[in-house]
Amino acid sequence: MGVYKFIRSNLLAGGKTGLEAYFVLLVWAFFFFLWLPGHLQAQVEIFNIFMAIIPFVLPFLIGIVAYHLWYEYQWARRYGETEHCVLEIKLPEEITQTPYAAELMLRGIYQTGETDTPLHEFLGATKPWFSLEIVSTEGRVHFYMWMRRRYKALVEAQIYAHYPTVQVVEVPDYTLSIPYDPAVVDVWAVEQKLQKPDPYPILTYVEAGLDEKGVKEEFKHDPQASLIELLGSIKEGEHIWIQFVIRAHVAESYCPYALEETHHHMNLREWGQHEIETIAKKVTREKEDGTGSIVNYAGLTKGDRELIESIQNKLNKQPFEVGIRAVYIARKDKSNSAPRIAIPSAFRSFEHGSEGRGLNGLAPIFWIGPFNFAWQDFMNTRRHMLWKRMYDAYVTRQFFYPPHKHRWIILNSEELATIYHFPGKVVRTPTLERMPSKRAEAPANLPI
């Protein structure tokens, strides 16, 4: 069973140790089918059985491979035919809006269309996705949004509706200014997963008190400040790219990245109800006549009641499927290990209590290594391959479809607005670029 789980989790699921799984399969095949000294008859019988079943099994295997290759080809074709754009959001000296404005903005781009039938999907149609990005170019911090060009007007309208003093400008894609060249740059990346099941919320701006009116900026504590401060601290020749790739989560959709397999065929609401029932089992007892059970919610501890309330609150707002990726890219002579250590730590600002004890939080998924033996990464072949894959995944903003389909999480609009919003003066990082004046419309009574 241990070997089966290892192969299933790494070979079939495409884990980072997939090559080790192939190696294990080859060793077992060699032992059972080739290396049977003194058992020539057994070898012949096994070979005959193998040749007899090939005509029946091979068409199914070819069909499965062709099915996946077709979808991957169609998705790649449609992606290449679709025009995309990058918008930079330039911040004024002062932003008075709370992160609730970002939440309303995100609700406005909650799009579920473009994939209506299985036929549309078969021909490569996908639900629209967006990329919310915070980028540091040698310490200068910028906010970007990436999208299909057809949604540009919608996104601009939503930004200006809730942040009227910012300036939105279409800019060239900044990622293309640093082409991937392993001889020139070092690349490192990390993605994020949730510490607990998705129905449990992370720390939000409401719980951090950022929605309170009348509180002076100097008394507010923005969990996003850790990220911004880190981005502003890097030096010449270094770059940190952080993206939140998002798309609408349809209520009826399953949650394939649930931590337990029993939850894979539940939608988010069913999964949340399952978690609530699990908590309520502590105060559940069977009726004396055996006709059912009684839940004494009054017997729950204060912490359990707050836990149930938090799950219910998360389910009451628009859910997004979110992929979180951070890339550190630097010239080889400027590469530094400090940002690689600091990036995973900065995301802990959104952790709700200590790991394993609070409601939920983010935890890192590392792309590369550890490679403890030379045969695991001969001549750095795997390392360079993974560097190229992570770079391509970021540049194409892919998270939900092959060839860069990765593990996403579910956050609601409130959680997402906590991670990505345009900060006020509570974030005082000097390298966070702001416009010297506010954006405003010209007076209507100016002479022509």
pLDDT in tens, 409-432: 999 999 999 999 998 776 766 667
Is the N-terminal amide bond of 59 cis, ω within 30° of 0? no
**Same domain membership, residue 116 and residue 59:** no
Q: Is 328 in the same domain as 406? A: yes
338 plus 218 within the same structural domain:
yes
In this prediction, residue 163 has a pLDDT band, given cuts at 50, 70 and 90, of very high
Per-residue model confidence as pLDDT tens digits over 332-367:
898 888 888 899 999 999 987 655 456 889 999 887
Task: Identify whether residues 135 and 163 lie together within a single domain.
Answer: yes
Q: Which of 15, 39, 69 is the last residue of a domain?
A: 69
* H/E segment holding residue 87: strand 84-92
Q: Is the pLDDT of residue 35 over 60?
A: no
pLDDT tier at 271, thresholds 50, 70, 90: confident
The percent of residues above 70 in pLDDT, for the chain, comes to: 72
* Predicted pLDDT of residue 256: 61
Residue 105 forms part of a structural domain: yes
- Average pLDDT (431-448) is 60
Angle at 223 between CA 221 and CA 226, to 5 degrees: 105
Amino acid letter, 9: S
Contact call for residues 215 and 293 (beta carbons, < 8 A): no
Does residue 402 register a pLDDT over 60? yes
Bridge partners of 192? 364
Same domain, 151 and 27: no
Q: Flag whether pLDDT at 98 surpasses 80.
A: yes
Query: Between the CA of residue 429 and those of 225, 270, 348, what are the distances in Å?
Result: 8, 42, 19
Q: What is the pLDDT of residue 238?
A: 93
- Enclosing domain of residue 15: 2-69
pLDDT, residue 86, reads 96
362 in any annotated domain: yes
Residue 441 domain-assigned (yes or no):
no
pLDDT in tens, 38-80: 566 766 777 777 778 888 888 888 888 888 888 888 888 888 8
Position 53, amino acid: I
Among 386, 306, 397, which Cα is nearest to 353's? 306
User: Tell me, what's the pLDDT at 134?
Assistant: 96
The dihedrals phi and psi of 250, each to the nearest 5 degrees, come to -75, 140
Give domain status of residue 430, yes or no: yes
Interval 145-168 mean pLDDT = 94
pLDDT of residue 343: 92
How much is the mean pLDDT over the chain? 80
In a domain, residue 273? The reply is: no
CA–CA separation, 346 and 228 (whole Å):
9
Q: Which of 100-109, 248-257, 307-316 has the highest mean pLDDT?
A: 100-109
Distance CA 419, CA 106 (A): 12
Does 65 share its domain with 203?
A: no
- Banded pLDDT at 33 (limits 50, 70, 90): low
Residues 157 and 29 in one domain: no
**Is 280 within the bounds of a domain?**
no
Per residue in 164-209, pLDDT (tens digit) is: 999 999 999 999 999 888 889 989 999 999 988 888 999 999 888 8
Domain count, the chain: 2
57 and 150 housed in the same domain: no
Per-residue pLDDT, 421 = 93
Does residue 278 form part of some domain?
Answer: no
